[in-house]
């Protein structure tokens, strides 16, 4: 057992490599780069529309014609990817708008790829923003979400995005078997190179509130606890992730991020595929609100939060802070 004297002996001084900024950089265990970021975008029909999202300062609903300038700015900052969420032109019980080949998301994919072919385009595959009821699948007469009946719609939606040029489709509905259904649909249609980023461990979280305003996707009755994960469970997340990998997921995800760093670590230890974490709207909005009050240093806290995701084991970070963080990192 080390004595107090031995602990304080110069041989055991841990502070030596913390003395200067250069020393700290040299031995830094984890790094943060714009290469790690994926920037979410909310896209809507029309032209010249840039509507601020009240609960998410600095975020907007954009019409398709404004996307090229947006992705040009992201590319200049070194951010390599965007994640698209569509605002439905109309809603019905069967999410028919979600599978349209000329819907707003396919339009957005084509516009981005024309303007910047190197930008990685990822699309959210879920019907909550396209249904009258706001749930992530088809709802039966008894009010229960029908898992198996929802799979074909999710697969068709993913195919519509792949046909438009999406690099990655990202099923987020938390329907059992959604990854397999999408993989089979894409492969049958010849889109074997289109990757799948699965929202594998997506929790029924209270942190999604601002997003539901942005995407107009709040459920009109009940909640999503019957299909999204229960927040007290961690081991179950590993089962979800392994199932998605076995079904063909190329990337897996934990959502939300900040309150689920333990889950990020468990998943990182369980699988070898790339791991994404979603720095969700509630986390973003809390940071913005506290910074606006002057209670925290937004830059310092924002970068510390993003580094926490990397330290826990995430390879990719979906974050509304991507543009600001890329700027912050340039000046660090």
Average pLDDT over residues 75-93: 93
pLDDT tens column, 17-51: 888 989 998 999 999 999 999 999 999 999 999 99
d(CA 186, CA 192): 6
Q: Are 177 and 119 in contact (CB under 8 A)?
A: no
CATH code, domain with 321 = 3.20.20.70
Structure tokens at 309: 């995701």
**Is residue 214 pLDDT above 70, yes or no?**
no
Considering the domain boundaries, does residue 19 fall inside one? no
Residue 9 lies in a domain: no
Q: Number of folded domains in the chain?
A: 1
More confident residue, 19 or 132: 19
Distance set, CA 10 to CA 2, 23, 185, 282 (Å): 14, 18, 63, 46
237: in domain: yes
State the average pLDDT over residues 75-90. Answer: 94
- The whole domain housing 232 covers 31-330
Section 121-139 average pLDDT:
84
Helices of type H across the chain: 4-8, 21-26, 67-77, 104-115, 147-164, 178-188, 209-215, 235-247, 261-270, 281-292, 298-312, 322-330
Residue 8 lies in a domain: no
Catalytic site includes residue 255:
yes
Q: Is the pTM of this model over 0.75?
A: yes
| pLDDT tens digits along 52-81 | 998 999 999 999 999 999 999 999 999 999
Q: Is residue 23 one of the residues assigned to a domain?
A: no
Q: Is 211 helix (H, G, I), strand (E, B) or coil?
A: helix
pLDDT over 70, % of the chain: 91
Instruction: Write down the catalytic residue from 21, 91, 185, 202.
Output: 202
Distance CA 51, CA 59 (A): 8
Q: Which candidate in 91, 185, 255, 323 is catalytic?
A: 255
Does residue 309 sit within a domain? yes
């Amino acid at each position: 057992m080390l004595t107090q004297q031995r602990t304080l002996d110069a041989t055991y001084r841990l502070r030596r490599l913390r003395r200067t900024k250069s020393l700290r950089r040299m031995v830094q265990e984890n790094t943060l780069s714009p290469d790690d970021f994926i920037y979410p975008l909310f896209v809507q029909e029309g032209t010249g529309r840039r509507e601020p999202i009240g609960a998410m300062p600095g975020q907007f609903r954009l019409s398709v014609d404004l996307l090229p300038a947006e992705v040009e700015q992201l590319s200049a900052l070194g951010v390599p990817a965007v994640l698209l969420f569509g605002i439905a032109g109309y809603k019905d019980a069967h999410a028919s708008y979600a599978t349209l080949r000329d819907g707003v998301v396919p339009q957005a994919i084509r516009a981005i790829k024309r303007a910047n072919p190197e930008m990685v385009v990822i699309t959210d595959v879920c019907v909550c923003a396209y249904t009258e009821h706001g749930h992530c699948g088809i709802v039966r007469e008894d009010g229960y979400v029908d898992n198996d009946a929802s799979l074909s719609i999710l697969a068709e939606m993913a195919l519509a995005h792949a046909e438009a040029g999406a690099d990655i489709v990202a099923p987020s509905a938390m329907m059992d078997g959604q990854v397999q259904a999408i993989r089979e649909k894409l492969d049958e249609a010849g889109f074997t190179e289109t990757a799948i980023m699965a929202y594998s461990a997506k929790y029924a979280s209270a942190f999604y509130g601002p997003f539901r305003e942005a995407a107009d996707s709040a459920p009109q009755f009940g909640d999503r606890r019957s299909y999204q994960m229960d927040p007290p469970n961690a081991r179950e997340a590993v089962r979800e992730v392994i199932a998605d990998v076995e079904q063909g997921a190329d990337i897996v995800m934990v959502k939300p991020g900040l309150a689920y760093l333990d889950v990020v670590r468990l998943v990182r230890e369980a699988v070898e595929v790339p791991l994404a974490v979603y720095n969700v709207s509630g986390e973003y909005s809390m940071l913005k609100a506290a910074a606006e009050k002057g209670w925290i240093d937004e830059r310092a806290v924002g970068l510390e939060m993003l580094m926490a995701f990397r330290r826990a084991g995430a390879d990719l970070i979906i974050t509304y802070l991507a543009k600001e963080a890329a700027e912050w990192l340039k000046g660090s």
